[in-house]
Amino acid sequence: MEGFEVLVLWAVVYCVSVSSVPLNEYKTESQLKHVNITIDTKYSSYITLSDVTADELGQYEGGDMIGHIPEMHNGLVDEKFRWQDGVVPYKIVGNFSLEQLTKIQQAFHTYHNVTDGCIRFVGRTDQHDYIQVKSNPSGCGSNVGRQGGIQVVNLQPPGCLYTPGTIQHEFLHALGFHHEQTRWDRDEYVTISWDYMKHGSEGNFAIHEEDKATGFGFPYDYQSVMHYGSNAFSVNHTADTITPVDPNAKIGQRKGLSDIDIAKLKKMYKCDTK
């Protein structure tokens, strides 16, 4: 019994029960404190080489794209992949700290604010199509666009939650966007160094013809939160696999949505006509 009591004490010290209450029901810091949160210890050994490239380190296609990948880049043309009226129901089922939950909520608020309420993440009640936000130990990942039924955005602590842009990146996938460097005109703006890539990662750098893609009329965006960093899928994590043609351009930022990211999202969801 003594060993059992020690085990119970350890469990009480290191974790509390998980809550799956929709985050948007907790609007203030004081209200959020009423949610039971798991204290994150089991993922503390997760290593990211950079908080900028956490979404490139997942176990999915492209680093972070889950499931079937539709043949449309950068923004999905087919409207069946869009969330009706820009409303995205979600349920948080992962183990996140209070700070991490707050960052997820801030990402939702960002989408609401930059689109003037056109894109809204709402706590799921009985909607058939919705996102489960998980914390599985498989990196950062998301389906691309609305799939129908349950789909996943995975944000493994702590790496996927260091920067606002990494969280926004995954939810922009869920809203229907692929990586920026998959655009048909990619080679006019960046040079791909195939010799420096990890074996088997070449497919992550595929491009698609213009008739299967749309940039919604906007130019290539070095500053997109959806653009890979310069050493994405590098054999040694230091050699550059992507070099901008513009020597002054920086790629792979994860501070947040760029102006063009926002403009494309608003055009995809016809926000200016609502």
Each residue's pLDDT tens digit, 95-138: 999 999 999 999 999 999 999 999 999 999 999 999 999 999 99
pLDDT digit string (tens) for 203-241?
A: 999 987 776 668 899 999 999 999 999 999 999 988 999
Statement: 16-273 belongs to CATH 3.40.390.10: yes
Residue 170: active-site member: yes
Phi first, then psi: give them for residue 85, nearest 5 degrees.
60, 20
Q: Can you give the residue ranges of every domain in the chain?
A: 16-273
198/241 Cα distance (integer angstroms): 10
Closest CA to 177 of 58, 47, 76: 76
Q: Which of 61, 71, 79, 170 is catalytic?
A: 170
pLDDT tens digit string along 28-40? Answer: 333 333 232 222 3
Give the model confidence (pLDDT) of 69-98 as tens digits. 444 445 777 889 999 999 999 999 999 999
Q: What is the length of the chain?
A: 274
CB neighbourhood size of 148 (10 A): 9
The string of DSSP letters for the chain reads -HHHHHHHHHHHHH--------GGG--SHHHHTTS------TTTT---S-SSSGGGSSSBBTBTB-S---S-EEB---GGGSPGGGEEEEEE-S---HHHHHHHHHHHHHHHHHTTTSSEEEE-SS-SSEEEEE--SS-EEE-SS--SSEEEEEE-TTGGGSSHHHHHHHHHHHHTB--GGGSTTGGGTEEE-GGGBPTT-GGGG----GGGEE-TTPPP-TT-TTSPPTTTTBSSSSS-SEEESSTT------SS--HHHHHHHHHHTTGGG-
Q: How far apart are CA 124 and CA 143, in angstroms?
A: 18
Q: Which of 3-7, 10-14, 136-140, 165-169 has the lowest mean pLDDT?
A: 10-14
State the binding site: 169, 173, 179
As annotated, the binding site for Zn(2+) includes 169, 173, 179
